[in-house]
Structure formats: structure tokens, C-alpha cells
Structure 1
């Protein structure tokens, strides 16, 4: 609370009305609180004014003893010092009260119900883990993390990013576990690019200075608080965005392709088995399409004569080269995957399953592709989605086309060169001062 000269208060009123007069949800109302008259400025889409006034009237105001609502946990009084700060307070959903004798205060009101409650995750399937998921409310997400990690070493820094559209973010890390150079790198980029607009995840990676074009994501996204806590324990920095129901852990390393933080819930032998399966699926999803073209068209001499004859018979009647054949089926598989994502959940899986079966059977009977290719590419697609996250799978989906084309031109040597190149590419990546081929952000195995 502050008391200003009445002329200053009048200029504040005119400034607010001039700035927001074209906003239909911006209101100015005359209200009475404990017998005192005030002008209330607020956005009706963000503030629940009747509920706020009811609480304030129950508390009451004693002008001699200042405001007595400090004892209410949902109320906080802040003193504005400039018109720009008043603008920012309004846009963040605060309530501004202007009273007599230059009385000005900004109140944290009861907000309109705009966020959903904590629910089960929609895009991830946790096993042997809690079934709560992040929501769009930043404070709720921070509370979920604090509830699961009771530690005085947990550091949470709140920042605002953007100039036209201000976005509130939270920087979370575990002091003493996260490397200081990683924290310094993230904080430096956030400070340098605080004026950049932040509306999408790509904006966030650009603010942090990550490469614009990359085959693999430089972060780990999750809607599970349990997985986010494990990322913090593994030495990563987590960024939460307001009105975004995912947490982003930085930096990502190569082991994140086949290992998840929730693997620690399983016995050690089972954990290593799962990670071995995922590592094998990574190799198969990249190499199987290219290997089919190599052994079928470019270097069939690598096969035993009996197997080479079987492969050749499977393509009997197919009118075009194996490269075109493979690209055709891969394109159909990509269409099925995208249709599954875009269609409504109640009909999507049924339609795509029936369409895939009927289309696969018809295309083989029409002698447009071989039976062996259908088996190879379906195995490649299944292996692709055995990886730890959808974002990791997207990079592998893209790179297998590169492997396929190079293999069709240079044969087995092209396939080997493509695998060597991707390893060199991984070795050249550095995110938040951490090389991508690091085994752990903490410098040791995170699970031990």
C-alpha cells in the first residue's frame, strides 16, 4: 500500500483507462469494502471479484491500523511505484484498488477458475510410479515438485521472459548436485534473451542458444513430477513454463535415448534388460530399411545363396526398384502414425489399425511391394517407438531416410558411413557446456 498525491492518482487512472480501453474484459468498478469506497481496476477474465470482495469485507479495514488482510494466506499487498508496474500487475491477474486521499494498493485476488486440477498423465504411461501429472498452473507444478522432494537444497527461481507477451517461468535445480557451469550457462542465456518472446518450446530452446536444426532434442520433456524429480537428482536443470503442462530438463545426453529416470523403480537386472532392448531398437530402427535395400539390390552377395534366392523371390512381380518400394511403404507408415495422433482418441486406433491391415494386405496382393519389406519396415516402426520418448523417436524417423538413400547409392559401405557420421555428429554436440556423449551429467553413473 502507498499514499500518493491525488493528482498522481488521477494520472494513474487516466493512464490505465487509456492503455486498456479497447480490452473488453478490462473493467473499472466502484466497490465498497468495510464502509470505504474504492475504484477497482481488473480483468474480469482473470479475477473473481465477488469472491475477493467477500473475503475483504469479512476481514474489514481499519485505516488507523493499516490493512488487516496480511494474515490471509491468499492475499498479499504490494506497493506500485510506476504506471508500467501497474500494467504488469493487471496483466498478471492482480486487482488494483484506488481510494480516497491517494490510497493505492495492488492485491492478489481470488482468481477465476482457468486451470484444470491435477489429473492422470495423458501422453505418458508411468509404471510403479505416482499417477499425478503437471497442469497448466505454474504454482501447482512447483507444489507437486516440492511435495515429492522435501529438501532445503531445492532451488526455485522465478523469472519473466518476453516484452509483448510476458511469460512466467521457473528455473529449478538441486544445489550441490547440478554442476555450477550448467546453472551458470542457463541463467546467462535467460538473462541475455529475457526480451525474446516465449510462446513455444522452440522459443525456449532458441533463448537458451541451442541449435535450430538438430536430429535429437537437447532437452527431456515430461508431464510426470516423479520423472522430473529424478532428473533433478541426476543433476539436470528443470524449466517450468506457466500455462504449459510439461517440465523441460536440460541438458539431454546420449543415454537419454534408451534410459528413463523411472527405470530406477525396477530391479537392477530388469532395468539393464530394458535398456539393452531399447538400445537394440535404436540400432534396428535406423538400419533395417537401409539394410533391406543393400541386401536386396546393391550387395546381395553378402547373403547365403539360399537366403538370397528367397529374398529375390519375395520381390517377384514388383515393377520398380527396392528404394522406391521402401519409400512408398515408409510414407504409408508415416501417414498411419500421424493419423493416429490427429484422430479423436475414441476412433483413432481402430481406424488406423483396420486401415493398416487392409492396406498392407491389398498392397502386397497387388504386387506393389514384397511381403519381406512389410515385415522389415513394420519391425523398424515398432523399434522406433520403443525409444524413451516421442521426441527421440522423431529424430530417428528422420535419419533412417538418410541411411536408406545413402545405402541405396553406396551399398554396405554407405550404411556404415551413415552410422559413423551420426556418431561423429553426436560427438560434436555440446548443450549447456555438457558434451552430448557424456554418460552422466553428474560425472558418474546417475543410478549408482
Structure 2
């Protein structure tokens, strides 16, 4: 193996933020090496001087005082995790220790994608330790456990599994830990990577987790026996596993009287059915099974379609595509521009399409009700699955009518009832505390 100093000097050409500085520590002259972008070098050097360095100190004593460990060029990735390397003057010896981190994080902020009235205005942040601290401060329990995992693929990624040792479902915990331990040598950069690590198929419509950026929501799930996965660099918590109740309930509901809480949850459940079935039902009744309509309603529908060149199925398909494009186009725009696009797409464009006799006004009404109902759910990401299945039901309804509508809905029911993540059924409505020993 070549001299450590020579190896490091070779890679400085490709890493402009790699800092190499000569330091005189007592009787020893050493080389100070770190990434200036992730380590505050000035504070770290001050920390070294305050660790009890004397004029007669030796290189080995410096290593002991700084709680260092032996280092080699095989551990080069440690530098990117905030560690500092001290090399002997000849470059033949090296040890590393934890440096003082540079300030890379933003200030605490309120949630951007989730809203809970009168809830603490604090959201998860990118640093892993900060997110663990938010949970510990909010929960304050001696039974709170945080187990660390490292994924060493193309880039090293740190993750922490957080759970309540007294309330956690042991079967769930064992399976999740097993999946994470087996994937130690894999990449963890995207949600798809995490789904693969947790044993899900590429073709699964529902992921085994849901994301939340609100610590209170994550803690609520943990108190019901679930586990939380925090990943360094991501301002969200992954709650495992995803359950049907996550589509219609949130922790904030419990701030209200019991009857109002149930009323809100039944309203969201009704919104799910309206969002999923209304467009397909309209297409089925108007284009395939008009004989099922009352004569008054049939005449009203017929009069609204006078002069419309497109069949009902193509009307609905066209407007569904336009609405999805409008929703997607506003997700990554600045809020001021997104509001303008929404007005243009929702009001101006809708009115112009009806006036141009391309679609009937009834289709606009049905689709508006369906799209509005889609966003009655607590978590925006959960609406993506509903929007996809809604399009599939519209296609089946346009081909087979009411039979296709019910066939599609029953198929979806069978599909979600057979989903099971980590031994917990997706449609489980039980408290995990009751399932803990099962």
C-alpha cells in the first residue's frame, strides 16, 4: 500500500472541497484532512487544541485524546460523513475522529404538504439526528428505541428504525429489521429502492409505507405498534406498514369530540367512493346502459349533449387527462404561479371547452365533484393510487357499462383485501397492541 498522504494528494485534483493542512501539535507535526463542505475545520482545530495537547504529546497520545480509530484509504467514504483524518508527518500512519459539522441544514419550518390545524408547526428536516431529536423531545419515553442501519451501495446512506419497545408489534419489527439487514450492501436513494429492500414487487400498486412530515403523526402511528424509518437527507418519516386507515384518518381527528371524529372519517370514506366511482358510473349509465336512467334524467342528459361530437367515454377520458396534467403541472411551480394555472385550467379552460361544444356541462360537473373528492384525504400521496384506479374503472365502464363498473370495483376490493405487509393485513382495523403477540 502506498503512502496515505500520496493517495490523498492524488484525489484532491477531483475534489476541490478536500482540505489538507499542516498542523503542529506539541512535538508532532501532522496533516489535517477533511471535506471542508461538511466539516467546520476552524471549530474542529479549536477542539483539537482544547483536548489537552501538550508540547511533549506523541502521535499515539493525540489519537487517544481525540477518541480516534485507525484509518486507511479503504475508509475514504468516512470523510464524507463528517470525520477528520490526521496523518503523521511522513504519511505512514493515520487515524480518524468525528469533526465538528458544518452548518448545512435550514431552520425549523412548518409542514409544506400536510396540514393539521392547531398542531405544532414543526416538520421533519433533512439531518437524521435532528429528526430523531424531534421524536424524542415530543415523545419523552424511556422505551423509545432508535436502531441505526447503513446502506453501502454506490453512495453510503444512513437510516434509523425508531419504535416503542413496549408497544411495537414484534412480528413487524423482526421482519423489517431482517429486510434492512439483508440490504446493507444495496443502494437506498429513492422510494423504489426502499420498496425493493422491504420486499415489495415493482408492480405493486400500494407501497408498504406512507410518508409523513409531521412528527406528531409519526409518533401516533408508533404508539399504535408501527415502526418509523428515518433516512438521512430526507425530510420525512416512513411509517411501516401502510394501512387502509391512513387514507381516512389522522391523529388530529382525536382533538375533536368522538361523534365529530367519526363523522369526518365517514365523510372521507364517502369521498373515496365518490372519487373512485362517479366518473365511471356516469360513463356507464349514459353511453352503455341509458335504459337504467329515469326518463326525466335521460332527457336532461340528452338535451345537455346536443351538438357534442364526442362520445361520452372520450369526453370523460379527455377531461381526465386534462385534469391530471393540470394537477401535475402545479405540483412543482411556485405557489403564486400555481394558483394562476389552477384558475386558468379550472375555470377559463373549462368554460371555453363547454362553450365550444366539445364536452357537455354534465361531464364537467361530474369530473369536478370527483376531483374535489380526491383531495379530501389527509395525505396527498395516497390520492395517486385512487387517481390511477379511477382511470381504470372509467375504461371498464366505457366498454362493459355498469357490469364493468362493478367488476372493476370488486376487483379492487379483492386486491386490497389480499395485500399483506410484514404479516399485517392492509385492511386491518385492529389496534396493534391487541395483535402484539399473535
TM-score range, shorter chain: over 0.9
Residue 111 of structure 2 corresponds to residue 121 of structure 1: yes
1:57 aligns with 2:49: yes
2:259 aligned to 255, 269, 282, which one?
269
Distance 2:24 2:15 in 1: 24
Report how far residue 34 of structure 1 moved: 5.6
1:170 partnered with 2:164: no
* C-alpha distance 116-391 of structure 1, shift in aligned 2 (>3 A): same
Other-structure match for 1:208:
198
Equivalent residue runs for 1:93-108 within 5 Å: 93-99=82-88, 104-108=94-98
Question: What is the SS of the residue equivalent to 1:41?
Answer: strand
Q: Is the 8 A contact 2:85 2:94 kept in 1?
A: yes
Shift of 1:292: 0.6
- Distance, in Å, in 1 between the alignment partners of 2:23 and 2:298 is 87
Evaluate the alpha carbon distance shift between residue 192 and residue 256 of structure 1 in structure 2; reply closer, same or farther with a 3 A threshold. Answer: same
Superposition pairs for residues 109-188 of structure 1, below 5 Å?
Answer: 109-188=99-178
Equivalent of 1:442 in 416, 422, 432 = 432
Give deviations 1:178-206, integer Å, cap 9, x for gaps.
Answer: 11111111111111121111111211111
Question: 1:39, 1:263 → 2: CA distance?
Answer: 58
The 5 Å alignment of 1:238-387 reads: 238-387=228-377
SS state of the match for residue 409, structure 2?
Answer: helix
Q: Structure 1: give runs of 5+ residues left out of the alignment.
A: 1-7, 71-75
Which secondary structure does the structure 2 equivalent of 1:114 belong to? coil
Whether 2:436 is the aligned partner of 1:426: answer no
Q: Could you say what the CA RMSD is over the residues aligned between the two structures, in angstroms?
A: 2.3
Quote the Cα distance in structure 1 between the aligned partners of 2:167 and 2:62: 43
Q: Is residue 182 of structure 2 the alignment partner of residue 192 of structure 1?
A: yes
Counterparts in 2 of 1:81 and 1:111: CA distance versus 1, 3 Å: closer
**Matched residues in 2 for 1:408 and 1:332: separation?**
18
Unaligned 5+ residue runs, structure 2? none
Does structure 2 conserve the Cα–Cα contact (< 8 Å) formed by 1:253 and 1:437? Answer: yes
Equivalent positions of 1:21-40 (< 5 A) are: 22-33=14-25, 36-40=28-32
Distance in 1 separating the partners of 2:97 and 2:152: 24
After TM superposition, give the deviation of residue 103 of structure 1 in Å.
6.5
Equivalent residues of 1:427, 1:436 under 8 A apart: yes
Normalised TM-score (structure 2): 0.92
Provide the TM-score with structure 1 as the length reference. 0.90
Do the aligned residues in 2 keep the contact of 1:59 with 1:68 (CA within 8 Å)? Answer: no
Aligned with 1:391 (options 381, 384, 392): 381
Contact 2:225–2:433, Cα closer than 8 Å, also in 1: no
Q: How many residue pairs were aligned?
A: 432
| Cα drift, residue 82 of structure 1 | 4.6
Q: Distance in 2 between matches of 1:126 and 1:49?
A: 41
Kindly tell me: are residues 389 and 27 of structure 1, through their superposed partners in 2, closer, same or farther at Cα, counting changes over 3 Å? Answer: same
SS of corresponding position for 2:211: strand
Q: What CA distance in whole angstroms lies between the structure 2 residues aligned with 1:320 and 1:100?
A: 81
